[in-house]
Amino acid sequence: HSLKPASAQRTVWSIAYQEVIALGHLIASGKIYNQRVVSLAGPVVKEPRLIRTELGADIDQLIDGELVDGEHRVISGTVLMGNHASGPHAFIGRYHQQVVALEEGYEKEFMGWAVPGTNKFSLARLFVSGLNKSKLFSLTTTTG
């Protein structure tokens, strides 16, 4: 990244480790290898773990019986860059390595930033709860 950095004039390619495995399998056997290992994670997953599946697998089948009761949002990919996996979009994306399930949050707090925040998640210690490193939070779609 420092010898020849990416720029508008210079294209940089990257490849993930699972793609290297698939490419090696294709060269060695002549067959397409579409197996992937994805992480099933999130605060509402009963047993978070790694799952061996196929590229483009149906997420509804993967999470069947895996989530606690309630209303959830399932994401193919990371929480920040993934896709909401519902309906026709409920499949593992080409470059996704995780499936995340979060509790759907509807609660709103008027001027929540103005209170000390004893029950709020904070990495930067903006709230009082940030001083207690051992406290665990169940993150939802409205956290933050």
Per residue in 83-126, pLDDT tens? 999 899 999 988 899 999 998 877 777 776 676 766 676 666 66
Residues 116 and 96 in one domain: no
Q: Decide if 40 contacts 99 (C-beta within 8 A).
A: yes
Nearest to 99, CA basis, from 143, 142, 36, 21: 36
Q: Is residue 9 part of a domain?
A: no
Residues 46 and 96 in one domain: yes
What residues make up the domain containing 79?
35-103
Question: Both tokens of residue 62?
Answer: 């993967």
**CATH code for the domain in which residue 99 is found:** 3.10.20.600
More confident position, 56 or 130: 56
Q: What was the pLDDT predicted at 59?
A: 94
Q: Is residue 86 part of a domain?
A: yes
Q: What was the pLDDT predicted at 123?
A: 67
Q: What is the b/e burial string over 43-72, where b = at least 16 CB atoms within 10 angstroms of the residue's CB?
A: bbbeeeeebebebebebeebbeebbeeeeb
Nearest to 143, CA basis, from 112, 99, 97: 112
Q: Is residue 79 part of a domain?
A: yes
Tallying the residues shown for the chain, one arrives at 144
Per residue in 17-74, pLDDT tens? 999 999 999 999 999 999 999 999 998 999 999 999 998 999 999 999 999 998 999 9
